[in-house]
A and B are shown apart, each in its own frame.
Chain A
Amino acid sequence: MPDNARQPKHLSDRTFGFLLTLPAVVLFAAIVLYPLIGSLTTSLFQQSLVIPGRSFVGLDNFRHVLDDQFWPVLQNTLVFTVFSTACPFILGFALALALNTRLPGRAVLRGAFLFPWVIPGVVVSFAWLWIFNANYGLLNGVLVQLGLIDAPVSWLGDPTTAMLAVIVAKTWASFPWIMVMLLAGLQTVPATLHEAAAMDGAGTLRRFWHITLPHLRGIIGIVVLLEVIWNFQHFDMIYVLTGGGPAGATTTFAVAVYETAFKGFDLGRAGALGALWLLLLLVLVVGYVRLAEREEKR
């Protein structure tokens, strides 16, 4: 084969282009792929974090996990995911619409509203831990003084309110990102469409329904799906706010797998629970990649 005349000393463009991705591919293989396969394999063994060696137990771990942990954890994860996606979405969408009007100072506001999303998740948790505090918390103080509750409530310590409190905190941290994404989408809606429709007598609501929403369909799909995927595996805020408690009321898959592996030292069961978790997650991720590819082709 004669060499390419223009660049005799170099690899072909294709080979070079592929080689450029090698560092990323190696990192991906070592930090994601190998651990993924390893953790899934663990589910078939009885293995401890602290004692070396392991023994094959077949599907025993799955049987145990499905018997006691899986269903309550699935329920908690679903409740957390649905409400921690829906609440910030509604809030973020409302704010995006509000900031897409001729409001004074909206550029500054858009930046300021990002604050809750920018600060570290651990700090968000600290702030809400303090607000929800049973003895000195701001929320109890305000509600008692307004006469809405008679006595302070232990928001994070009561199994009936703990999940609600976690969702409120997560909503606070998530809605700014949704606002930015939807606002970016709103700004691509051609104003002429709205003007023409308004000329024809279409009201605000009808224009929102027939012009704005169809235009945003793609970005709404991606934002919602990404939020669902992230919430489905969220760990930081739940762990800091409640540690999965009280009485397991806020134990989602992320917390359960972490606790089983690193507090209970039972890697086999953690792996089995994680495998079931991943299976559910995979459906969502495949959906996201499909949707993202379709959006790029548009």
Chain B
Amino acid sequence: MTTLTVAAPPQTRKPRKPRPWLAMIAVIVIGLFAFGPVYWLIVTALTPSGDAFQFPPRLWPRTVTFEHFANLADNPVLGRYLVNSLIVSSLTAVLTVLVSAYTAYSFSKFRYRGRRSLMSLILASQMFPQALLLITLYLLFSAFGLLNSYLALVLSFTTFTLPLCVWMLKGFFDTIPDELLEAAKVDGAGQGSVIHRILLPVSLPGLVATGLFAFIRGWNDFIFALTLAGPEKQTLPPGLVNTYLGEFQAAWPDLMAASLVVSLPVVGGFVILQRYLVAGLVSGAVKG
């Protein structure tokens, strides 16, 4: 893995005197720890059941099979979890982008009393323990008949994804010159059309990145879907736990295949938008 032929991007500054051998040893050792489990996940998913359950385990498969992926497709329950995950994560992404765009615009371009406190409040809100909030959230959603509904999941996911998304977008809006927005106002555009005709179209890449991030957060959530949704509305993470870990002997190769399938959209989306997400994460955490 240290002999990749991809050239490093041109440096804008000279790196300090390199110690490549030390760096390479570190990368190899940490690489084994980082990619060993990934390798094992993939190998197990491709190993016939008979070979997977033997000790000591075989480090590379004798024969490769796709039967475990076929097993997944045959299981209608998993299909339902998948659909639920897609619906809930997509709705979360849309709602999060809308709400965080308005909020981030407010924080970025307006000055009013209480703005700083609001920013701190929203930043701090992601840090309240969810298990504690769930005690009352469960009763609240129950009182409104919203237990076991998409709405309960979308509202919960959105609230806890908002803080980071607001900060990602605020960083984006900060780079948009005020003059651009002022010019539109001088031309007679109302406050609303400044947002919808100018700000949002100009920030499309940032909105897409934010939406994708929210989608991933919704896709990965475990505790809200576990608690607030029953089998009909549950998403993949709690769904897989209930399907595979409840049994006496778990079907490990099937579970590993399912794990790969669940990870796929997240990894794909992340590869596409890595640049935005990394920058957003850094600024979101530091520029609170």
Contact = CB atoms under 8 A, between A and B. Distances in A.
A54 to B, nearest CB: 10
B132 A141 contact: no
A66 interface: no
Contacts of B114: 18
Contacts of A219: 286
B120 to A, nearest CB: 5
A35 B57 contact: no
Interface string B1-23: 11111111100011111111011
Contacts of B245: 129, 240
B237 A120 contact: yes
A223 B40 contact: no
Given A24-B166, A120-B266, A126 B259 contact: yes
A156 B97 CA distance: 40
B30 to A, nearest CB: 5
Contacts of B219: 120
Nearest to B287: A296
Interface stretch (A67-75, A78-86, A172-180): A172-180
B56 A108 contact: no
Contact of B252 (A21, A133, A281): A133
A253 to B, nearest CB: 7
Contacts of B1: 109
Given A141-B55, A285-B127, A270 B237 contact: no
B129 interface: yes
B22 A235 contact: no
A278 B128 contact: yes
Nearest to A177: B281
B84 interface: no
A115 interface: yes
A105 B9 CA distance: 9
A94 B52 CA distance: 35
Contacts of A14: 110-113
A24 B222 contact: no
Contacts of A240: 222, 241, 245
Contact of A107 (B2, B6, B115): B6
Contacts of A113: 30-31, 34
A206 interface: no
Contacts, number: 349
Interface residues of A, number: 120
Contacts of A9: 190
A21 B102 contact: yes
A123 B240 CA distance: 9
Interface stretch (B62-70, B71-79, B202-210, B270-278): B270-278
A182 to B, nearest CB: 10
A180 B262 contact: no
Interface in A176-228: 176-177, 180-181, 184, 190-191, 194-195, 198, 204, 207, 218-219, 222-223, 226
Nearest to A190: B13
Contacts of B131: 233, 235, 253-255, 257-258, 261, 274
B90 interface: no
Interface in B115-139: 115, 118, 120-125, 127-139
Contact of B37 (A42, A152, A172, A190): A172
B124 A285 contact: yes
Interface string B93-111: 0000011101101110111
Contacts of A36: 128, 132-133, 136
Interface in B139-193: 139-140, 155-156, 158-160, 162, 166, 185-186, 190-191
Interface residues of B, number: 116
A222 B132 contact: no
A114 B274 contact: yes
Interface in B226-282: 227, 237-238, 240-241, 244-245, 250, 252, 255-256, 259, 262-263, 266-267, 270-271, 274, 278, 281-282
A282 B66 CA distance: 49
A21 B113 CA distance: 13
Contact of A115 (B34, B103, B288): B34
A60 interface: no
B86 to A, nearest CB: 14
17 contacts: A17-B110, A20-B106, A24-B99, A24-B166, A28-B121, A94-B26, A100-B15, A120-B220, A129-B245, A141-B56, A184-B282, A218-B286, A235-B130, A258-B134, A270-B135, A275-B132, A288-B127
The 10 closest A-B pairs by CB, nearest first: A17-B110, A292-B288, A105-B4, A38-B136, A274-B132, A141-B56, A20-B106, A35-B136, A98-B23, A31-B159
Given A21-B106, A262-B134, 15 more contacts: A6-B186, A20-B105, A27-B158, A35-B133, A98-B23, A104-B5, A106-B8, A120-B263, A137-B57, A190-B13, A204-B19, A207-B16, A235-B130, A236-B223, A281-B127
Interface of A: 6-7, 9-11, 13-18, 20-21, 23-25, 27-28, 30-32, 34-36, 38-39, 42, 49, 91, 94-95, 97-109, 111-116, 118-123, 126-131, 133, 135-138, 140-142, 144-145, 152, 172, 175-177, 180-181, 184, 190-191, 194-195, 198, 204, 207, 218-219, 222-223, 226, 229, 233, 235-236, 239-240, 253-255, 257-258, 261-262, 267, 270-271, 274-275, 277-278, 281, 285, 288-289, 292-293, 295-296
